[in-house]
Amino acid sequence: MDTLLDDNRRVEEEHPVYLFLIKAAVLLFPPVLLAAIVLPGYYLAQAGFGFWLLLLIPLGLLASDFTSGLFHWFFDNYGTPQTPVFGQTIELFRVHHDLPQDICKSNFTFTVGHVCVWSVPMIAAHLLVYLWIQPPLLFSAWTVFFSTAHMFLILTNQFHKWAHLPEKPEWLLWLQKHRFVLDTPHHEVHHTPPYSSYYCITTGWMNPFLYKIKFFPRMEMLLAKIGINKAEQQPQIGVKATVS
């Protein structure tokens, strides 16, 4: 692949400016996201609405899982490696079906960094606005939800990578068994030809629901009606699994 390097990194990852941005974004990820969740969470608790956090954080996680599925579905099925801006990302998604364990070769920085590059500045800007104004309760609630969703979106590729690890430590097996993160048998459903279901890869919680209501097939029919057709897919090698 002309857009991939031997060490499984993208071509743009060799650019010194991009390398600086991606490493800086990953370093800033913990403090920025922590502040963006804890500060409004504390404000809600002080105002007597701390119980909202019990709803806002799971909703943020569900939103992240759904968003991961939406992007995954789109890049798997639309566009080509020659598509402007998104071409290399599309190629990586398609290659992943043929070489599912290649994701395990990336370190943490390059696993989560591509999302950090755009997500961390968005959260930082949101946090600055929050600190600048006298935050109303609803804005505090929104900030917790928005930041939680972004936090799990950033971690999505790490959870995805864990699902493909051939050997896993006990603590990770426990997390996967209790479905706190994407587990391997659940994700294998997506890696079964024709690779047309179970796109959500943060926790996978949204997959059974979206499968039941035929969300993605209906999206494809809607797009086809307005002239946006799926890309032709090449035969690929997958693993056998069943939808449960």
The residue ranges of the chain whose pLDDT is under 70 are 1-15, 233-244
Per-residue model confidence as pLDDT tens digits over 188-210: 999 988 888 999 999 999 999 99
Neighbours of 94 (CB within 10 A): 21
Distance, in Å, from the CA atom of 47 to the CA atom of 149, rounded to the nearest integer, reads: 23
Per-residue model confidence as pLDDT tens digits over 2-26: 334 444 455 455 668 888 999 999 9
Cα separation values, 44 from 56, 142, 207, Å: 11, 11, 31
User: pTM here?
Assistant: 0.86
Q: Which of 200, 180, 179, 174 is nearest to 189 (CA)?
A: 200
Residues 37 and 147: beta-carbon distance below 8 Å: yes
CB crowding 139-177: b at 16 or more within 10 Å, else e: bbbbbbbbbbbbbbbbbbbbbbbbbbeeeeeeebeebbe
Distance, in Å, from the CA atom of 139 to the CA atom of 129, rounded to the nearest integer, reads: 10
